[in-house]
Chain A
C-alpha cells in the first residue's frame, strides 16, 4: 500500500474559498438555499464552508445534516450491516434550493440515496451537488457535481482519504494506492 498526497491544507483552503465564491455567485444571499452536509463525512466539509461563509458575512445560513443509510441500495448486500448516523433537518425543503455537500464523489450511489432521502422533507425547487474530490471514470450512475474542488483519476481498489483535523494546518487529502 502506497499513498500520495493530493491536496495539502493550503490547496484545500484555496479550493474552499473558490467554492464559496461559486456558491455566492449562484445563490446570492442564500435566503432560499439550504446547505445539506451528507453524513458522515460531508458534514465536516459543510462545517468548513460555513465557517468561511460566516467570515464573509453570511450569518443566518439554513443548514442540515442528512443521513442516507435507510435509503441506500446495498441493504442486505454486505456482510457488514449499515449503521445510521444522525439526521438534523430542522426545516422543510419545500420550494427551497438544496445544495448537497460531500467530500468524495465516487460511484454516485450515496448521492442517489440522498436524492430519495431529501424527498421525505418536501419537494425542493432544485438540488445541486458540491464535492471536494471527484473520482473520475468511476461512476455507476449518471450523477455529476455542480461545484467541484478537484478531480482525481484513481483505480478501483484505491482509496481517497480526506482527513479533517482539529488543527486545520494538518488537513490533508491523499490517495491510497492498492499495491496489487
Chain B
C-alpha cells in the first residue's frame, strides 16, 4: 500500500517522484468517478475543510470546492475581504480560531510567499497550499503535468516550454520542479526583465526567441502577465509584449510539428495568447480545468487518509 511522503502539500519541492505518480494514479480513478452519472463518493463525509482565500481566485477556489463536495467533505469558505483580517487579525490567529471550530484541513491561498509553510510550522493541521504569492502553486503544477502525461504517457525526455512572466509566476516555479521530477526538459521564454537571475541553476535553459522555443518544444505552457504583482514597469507595453512573446496562430502555422498548448488561466486574450490559439485543437486548457478537480480530489483524499480517526478522538 502506497502513501504520500508528506502530511501537508506546501510545494512540489517537498514531494518525490513516487508521490507524483501516486497522486496521478489516484487522480485517474477520480476522473472516472467525476464522469459517472452520480459524481460523488462518501470517503470524506466526516472531514471538515476550510478554504481560506486571502487572494482572489476563480478556478482554483471553485475547483477545490467542487473536489471537496465530490468527496462529501463539509466545507467552510473564507474570503479575506469579508473577514476580520481587515480589522487587523493576524494570519496565525485567524487560522487558530478556525481550527478551534474542529476543522480538519486548511486550503490556503495567500499573497505572501511561504504563508502555508509558516502555518504548517506553527499549527498542527493538514495544510494544502493553493498558491502563496510568487512562490509555489503545487496543485496547478500537478494538474498541468498530469494533463501532459495523459497526452504523452511518460514525460521522460519530453520538451516543455514555459512562456511569459516567469519572475512573478508561482505556476512557473512549481511546474519547473514537477516537470524536472518527471524527467522532462524545460526551457523558459520571456522578456529578460521577467526571467529571474540564475534560474538556470534549477536545470532549465532560457531563451528570448519564441519561434525557436516553439520549434524546440513538444508542449508550451503560456503564462499570464501578473500585473498585480509588478511594482514597476518590466516591458514597454502590452502591444509590444504581444508582438514578441504573444502566441498567435501565425507562429503555430510555421511549426513543422504539432505542439500542445497549456494555460493556467485566467487568459488575457490578445496579450499572451490569441483567441484562435486558445480555442484551437492544440489547446488543452479545458482538459486542465477538468483534471484540476480530479487532481485536487486525489490530493485531499491521500492527505485526508493521514488524518487517522483515532488521533482525532
Contacts and interface: CB of A to CB of B under 8 A. Distances in A.
A79 interface: yes
Interface string A106-140: 00000000001001111000000000000000000
A119 B40 CA distance: 10
A76 B309 CA distance: 6
A63 B33 CA distance: 18
Size category, B interface: 20 to 34
A86 B32 CA distance: 9
Contacts, number: 68
Nearest to B301: A70
B232 interface: no
A83 interface: yes
A168 interface: no
A69 B71 CA distance: 12
B233 interface: no
A74 to B, nearest CB: 10
A69 B33 CA distance: 11
Instruction: Please list the 7 inter-chain residue pairs (A to B) with the smallest Cβ-Cβ separation, ordered nearest first.
Output: A70-B41, A120-B38, A84-B29, A80-B1, A81-B305, A81-B3, A76-B309
Interface of B: 1-3, 22, 25-26, 28-30, 32-33, 36-44, 46-47, 301-302, 304-310
Interface of A: 67, 69-72, 75-77, 79-87, 89, 92, 116, 119-122
24 contacts: A67-B29, A70-B30, A70-B42, A70-B43, A70-B301, A71-B41, A75-B44, A75-B304, A76-B308, A80-B1, A81-B1, A81-B2, A81-B302, A81-B306, A83-B2, A84-B25, A86-B29, A89-B36, A92-B37, A120-B36, A120-B37, A120-B40, A120-B41, A121-B38
A159 B306 CA distance: 27
B33 A120 contact: yes
Contacts of A92: 37
Given A70-B30, A81-B1, 6 more contacts: A70-B43, A75-B43, A75-B44, A80-B1, A81-B3, A86-B29
Nearest to A76: B309
Contacts of B309: 76-77
Contact of A76 (B25, B30, B307): B307
Nearest to A75: B43
Contact of B304 (A69, A76, A80): A76
A178 B305 CA distance: 29
Contacts of B40: 120
A42 to B, nearest CB: 17
A81, A85, A87, A116 — most chain B CB neighbours (10 Å)? A81
Given A116-B42, A120-B40, A79 B29 contact: no
B41 to A, nearest CB: 4
Contacts of B30: 70
**Interface majority SS on A: helix, strand, loop or mixed?**
loop
Given A71-B41, A81-B1, A119-B38, A87 B305 contact: no
A87 B37 contact: no
A71 B41 CA distance: 6
B256 to A, nearest CB: 37
A54 to B, nearest CB: 26
A120 B43 CA distance: 14
A111 to B, nearest CB: 16
Contacts of B308: 76-77, 79
A80 B33 CA distance: 22
Contact of A71 (B22, B42, B304): B42
A76, A121, A122 — most chain B CB neighbours (10 Å)? A76
A100 to B, nearest CB: 17
A70 B33 contact: yes
Given A120-B37, A121-B37, A82 B305 contact: yes
B3 A87 contact: no
Contact of A122 (B37, B304, B310): B37
A80 B3 contact: yes
A120 B29 CA distance: 14
Contacts of B1: 80-83
A120 B308 CA distance: 27
